[in-house]
Amino acid sequence: MFWAILLQICLYFAIVALVAYWILPSHVDVEKYFHNKVVWITGASSGIGRELVKQLARHSPTTRLVLSARRENELHNLARELNLDFEHCLVLPLDLELQYDCFKSKVDLVLERFGQIDILINNAGISQRSFIHETGYNVDSRLMNINYLGTITLSKTILQHFIERQKGQFVVVTSAAGYMGSALRSSYAASKHALHGFFDSLRLEHAHDNIDVTIVCPGFVRTSISQNAFVGSGLPYGKMDPKTEKGTDPSKCADDIILGIANREHEVYVGYLASPLIYLRRFFPRILHFVLLRVKST
């Protein structure tokens, strides 16, 4: 009897603690955390990356930002729009696809300008809208090259710098699709699963070097992701899909990511769908399968 009551009390406490953990806002001082840090953001030319730059510039004016993506003009427009000057911003065009040879020289450019790198936000990525049977090898390999190989190669190029400094933080934007398969996104989901495997391993290998890894898993976020996604032939899908259109506002998404980074969270789930889907996948995979089978794929 005594043990049964004790167990019940413990259970109540555990539930209250869990609910409080989810609901209560975290009070970490974002400005203090990012003060004077050098933060490199890939995929800064649009969507989530662009919002991350905006929010960081607003919350922490002392932060020095490195903006990367392929479209250099978009990066310059953003820097101008935010009045980011030479001392606080470096526009560094970068193609994550098959240009791995130039990563070392890009890292050297950042170190020449700012002397250090504190946080790399691996946000750039491309999605997919095609069934497996209609997707060519070219699309499978491009998704892996951009989302996975480009991301880990850039991170590995910076790793030595983090080890020498005995500190640093890798942030990687994966997806809820990094936890579960999804129709029309086979290779996209595979590339995001691969990032989890790599960065979970990196976190373990370099915990003693004081190197943190924060994996961000968004659900649907209202960006150009579906327009830019590859169809089976490799052409862009070119349309905003309805779920993306109704998705989380990218500025809210950026806010959650910044808070997660400052809290040095291991994982951050962004948007109203990501957490329930990921928990369903973890604890009730058959139920998730049943649910996903009934959802219209777009």
Closest by CA position to 120, among listed 128, 129, 111, 131: 111
Nearest residue to 38 via CA among 72, 16, 62: 62
Q: Would you give the DSSP letter of residue 208?
A: G
Q: What is the identity of the amino acid at 192?
A: K
* Alpha-carbon gap, residue 188 to 226, rounded angstroms: 12
Our CB check for ligand NAP shows the closer of 186 and 244 to be 244
What 3-state class would DSSP assign to 123?
coil
Kindly give the pairing relationship between strand 64-68 and strand 168-173.
unpaired
Name the residue type at position 51.
E
- Measured from the CB atom, the residue of 165 and 196 that comes closer to ligand NAP is 196
- Min dist CB 252 to ligand NAP, Å, is 12
With respect to ligand NAP, which residue has the nearer C-beta, 91 or 117? 91
- Beta carbon nearer to ligand NAP, 32 or 229: 229
Q: Quote the least distance from Cβ 230 to ligand NAP, whole Å.
A: 10
First to last CA, the chain: 54
Which of 54, 93, 48 shows the shortest CA–CA distance to 74?
A: 93
Q: Taking the complex as a whole, how short is the minimal distance between the CB of residue 4 and ligand NAP, in angstroms?
A: 44
Give min distance, CB of 248 to ligand NAP, in A.
Answer: 8
CB of 176 to ligand NAP, least distance (A): 7
- Do 261 and 55 touch, CB atoms closer than 8 A? no
How does strand 89-91 pair with strand 119-122?
Answer: unpaired
Where on the chain is the footprint of ligand NAP (CB under 6 A)? Answer: 42-43, 45-49, 69-71, 74, 94-97, 123-127, 146, 173, 175, 218, 220-221, 223-225, 228, 244, 247
Question: What's the rounded Cα separation, in Å, for the pair 69 and 43?
Answer: 5
Catalytic residue among 148, 188, 237, 269: 188
Count Cβ atoms below 10 Å from residue 172 Cβ, excluding itself. 26
Nearer to ligand NAP, 153 or 165 (CB): 153
Does the active-site annotation cover 188? yes
- Kindly tell me which of 123 and 135 has the beta carbon lying closer to ligand NAP: 123
Q: How far is the CB of 258 from ligand NAP (least distance, A)?
A: 15
Q: What angle do CA 94, 177, 33 make, to 5 degrees?
A: 60
**Would you please indicate which residues are annotated as catalytic (active-site) residues?**
188
